[in-house]
Structure 1
Amino acid sequence: MQTNLSETYRDSVQGKEAEAILRACVHCGFCTATCPTYQLLGDELDGPRGRIYQIKQILEGATPTATTRLHLDRCLTCRSCETTCPSGVQYGRLVDIGRELVEAQTQRPLSEQLTRKALKAVLPYPQRFRLLLSLGYLAKPLLPAHLAKKLPTKSQVESFATQTHTRKVLAFDGCVQSVVTPATNQATARILQKIGIELVSVKEAGCCGAVNQHLASPHEALDFIRRNIDAWWPHIEAGAEAIVSTASGCGVMLKDYGHLLQHDATYAAKALKVSSLVKDISEVLRDADLGKPEIPSTIKKVAFHSPCTLQHGQKLAGVVESILQKVGFALTPVADAHLCCGSAGTYSILQPELSQQLLGNKLKALQTPPAQVIATANIGCQMHLATAANVRVVHWIELLDEVMLQ
């Protein structure tokens, strides 16, 4: 793609990065065929190629409008287009840059501003989110049905297994997952214990920064990133083998730390090291001998929803499925497994209409043919699917732990 960046961006860090991405695009349009929003809306401007053109126009001097902003807001950042792209266009990074530029040059309605500020003020902070969730449980009898069903099931908070091992990995606890489904990392700790690895929780670490990054607040995201690096660094120097993520959405962000801090003289090398150590739990267990546990007939048949951040972001399509099948679960076929469920971080809140359409399509695919349980690998997908599924929705590592405890 030919570019002619305006003087404003030609020599900027953002401009140079965006131009390199733009020049990789060959206009082929393969990306539109796998874009969830293009499939729903049929508008070229709501597909990757159209959004790329809009971002290119801004970089070349065009003034973005509220309409431009809407088309970029509608993008799920699912990165299905990256999996399809024959030219390796890094669309996910380009749309982040585009959103930052548009956010700086347009004025959102007050209601949108307040919603986005509230999300950034609550979600990345476990204590604040826990308080809000507690208030939600108290008010549940008074809430409209469509809001009440969005409240996740209460979970018990327990400590990790305490047995020590020479081999140690760090747990990524995150923000929302640590409050809503603490059982996920508890299950992870028990399974890792069985193969001789100790999972260490680092309480000083927190949100990965993805919420702020994808809401066009990159400087706030970098503050979370630096805090996490500082928290983990003493453990890395002491020999921790990996940083294990059980939320695939966070895993994508963690693996991107090296890129996001490449221009930070103080943190660049550390960030690159951290990114190299990040592993989704499926990568840790891929070659592990987990045996052949007895699987109850009530949960034998599983529909696995592979989150976009796992299959497109981390390029780990099929890894979890192979682990579950090796252990003995029977996986049901899922049509259009490459498509997003509509959760996409804060997307289900900010774009509810499109999100619900995608949810309906995804649940139809997951429940045809019928499964006894739906498993996934990301907290956002898990919560979103659970609001309307006909069967239990669980993180796959909890399902695995459930049968290994028999």
Structure 2
Amino acid sequence: MAMVFTARAVRRAAVRAPPPSTARRPVVARRAAPVLAPARPGRGTAAVRVVAFRDVHREEMIVKMGNGLINSWFKGIRDGPDTVRDALATTLDDSVRYASHAVVKNVEGQGPEFIAKHMAQERARMKVLDWRVIASAACSQDDTFFALVEVKYASKSAKSDKPLVAYKVFEADVMYDDTALRALCIHERGQLMPEEVMGIASIDSAQRLCTAVPFPEADVTPYPKGLDNETVLKNTRAWCQARSSGQQEGILDQVLDPSFRLWDAYGMLPVICDRRKTPDACTVRYADVKDIIRQTKENYAIRCTQLDCAVSADRSVALQHWRSVVTPKAGGKPFTIDGVEVDVFGPDGKIKDIWLFRDPMDHEKAALEGGA
């Protein structure tokens, strides 16, 4: 298969370059005469409209590889990394980067041996009972893979056999040409284990008992007939746009379903979670979401950029990764927050649920670390 190059692939390092602690895709040499796909216009850090054609076969191949990687990942944690070394050797690049983000504690490393070590450490903490991929998707414009995974496990650290459930989102940057189909970078976001929640100073005992905010799978349907991906992608971009300074929150009226709910997938961010409410302690309805956005923009200058987005081929799910540069208006240094989310859409493409793993804002981080 001939290699496909897009304008985004060329610019990606500049647009998406995170701080050194969260660097993602390494620079990869590619062939001198690439086959060009229809490309989008140049950009700085603002979200732009995708004009490249989808390559359905390419996306199918990336999803197949990605789902295999997920299965090897959890098999390695369950049975030990040595049981999946051969499988991982065919799906991981020799310089693969890994990063996991767990609210206030991040893990980063590089290379297959680091990932094998990470699997062994996870195996020491948890007994994996089962896992399933709820939804997965790929974007052929920049060769990105996403998967939402449900994991059933018991905590070895807590010395308990009680079955627990956690949800994780994996994102992988993929190298796909006529010689290889491999993951270059893996980004994992997942719900915390009980002992991790108890390590956060400001979480009270009620929160410690509830670590898994369930994914609203009941809202997921087969991919709606007659719906096109561009409608879904337009709506996901509007979500990022509305949260940027200088933009009106009212644009969400056209893209969010009246039943819309915003979920804090971590189950602990103070802006969203109110443990006094049950059972929807960590969900916010549409009217309150607009108020949160408005109040946040009153205190901060925000520039949100959608980095990656992929729509499932067979389910009413899109997954996206965005980054916001946030500057306190009262003074202080700008900071960056990332979010990885699962967007569930209806038959008209309007978003019904956003199930979100987001970095904490500065005041949230202070509260979670016991600074407030």
Q: Please, what TM-score do these two structures have when normalized by structure 1? A: 0.28
TM-score by length of 2: 0.30
Q: Give the strand-richer structure, 1 or 2.
A: 2
Greater C-alpha radius of gyration: 1
